[in-house]
Structure 1
Amino acid sequence: MSPLQHDPARVGAPDSAPDADLEPIAHVLDAVRRREPLVHCLTATVSMGLVADGLLAAGARPMMTETLQEAPTLTTLADALVVNLGTLSTDAMDGIPATVEAAVRDGRPWVLDPTAIGIAPVRTPLARTLLASSPAVVRGNASEVLALAGEGNGGRGADSGADPGSAEDAAARIAARTGGAVAVSGAADLIVSTRGRFRLERGTPLLTRVTGTGCLLAALTAACRAVETDDLTAALAASTWMALAGETAQERSSRPGSFRLHLLDALDEVGR
Structure 2
Amino acid sequence: MFTFIDLFAGIGGIRIACEKNGGKCVFSSEWDQHAQKTYKENFGETPHGDITKIDEKEIPSHDFLNAGFPCQPFSTIGKREGFEHKTQGTLFFDVVRILKHHKTKMILLENVPGLITHDGGNTFTVIKDVLENDLGYKIFPKVINASDHGVPQERKRIYIVGFLKDKYGDNIEFNWPSADKKHKYINQFLEKHQSGYNISKHLQKSYLFKQDDGRPQIIDKNSEVKVKTLVSTYHKIQRLTGTFVRDGETGIRLLSENECKAIMGFPKDFKIPVSRTQMYRQFGNSVAVPVVEKIIHQILKTAAQYKKSH
Class of the TM-score when normalised by the shorter of the 2 chains: 0.3 to 0.5
**Structure possessing the higher relative contact order (Cα contacts under 8 Å, 6 or more residues apart):** 1
| Bigger Cα Rg | 2
Q: Greater helix share, 1 or 2?
A: 1
TM-score, with structure 1 as normaliser: 0.38
TM-score, with structure 2 as normaliser: 0.34
